[in-house]
Amino acid sequence: MVVRTFAVAVVGRVAAVTSAAAQQPISARQCFWSHQVNSFAAQGDRLVNLRVGVKDYFQLELMGPCPDVDWTQKIALVSRGGSTICSGLDAEIVTPSPIGPQKCPVKSVRKLTPTEVAALPKGAKP
């Protein structure tokens, strides 16, 4: 596990991907490299916004409520399909808790437009 100085940990595992989405070019699917994540901010317990690189922002929708994600100061982003994250199947969020790490599967991943980033509520912009 690689721990980033911005309180984001990135973990990569190699897995075979056979979906139709895997056949699309990375740029068409609005993917990002897990090692380029700089910071995060939770928007409630089901949305996590990521700052990727200098100017890109992505929003991860979680499959269900993720305990403690909305107040924790660090998370781990686990990449399941290599180091590129393009869909919910590619990642999960891990949050620390008093009873141990809580794994939160990602339902969907989407790149935010500049207008959407500007409209994020206070505290939800990484």
Q: Is the pLDDT of residue 118 over 90?
A: yes
Quick: pLDDT tens for 70-108: 888 899 999 887 889 999 888 999 999 888 899 999 999
* pLDDT score recorded for residue 8: 52
Residue 122 lies in a domain: no
Quick: pLDDT tens for 35-60: 999 999 999 999 999 999 999 999 99
Residue 118 lies in a domain: no
What are the CA-CA distances from residue 53 to residues 24, 58, 99, 116 (Å)?
22, 11, 33, 17
Contacts of 54 (CB under 8 A, 6+ apart): none
Residue 105 lies in a domain: no
* pLDDT score recorded for residue 29: 59
Residue 111 lies in a domain: no
Residue 100 lies in a domain: no
Structural domain count of the chain: 1
**Ramachandran quadrant class, 82 (left: phi over 0; alpha: psi -120 to 50; beta: rest):** left
Query: 18, exposed or middle or buried, with CB in 10 Å at 0-12, 13-18, 19+?
Result: exposed
Residue 9 lies in a domain: yes
- Residue 12's domain comprises 2-16+23-92
Residue 45 lies in a domain: yes
Residue 10 lies in a domain: yes
Instruction: Give the type of residue at 19.
Output: S
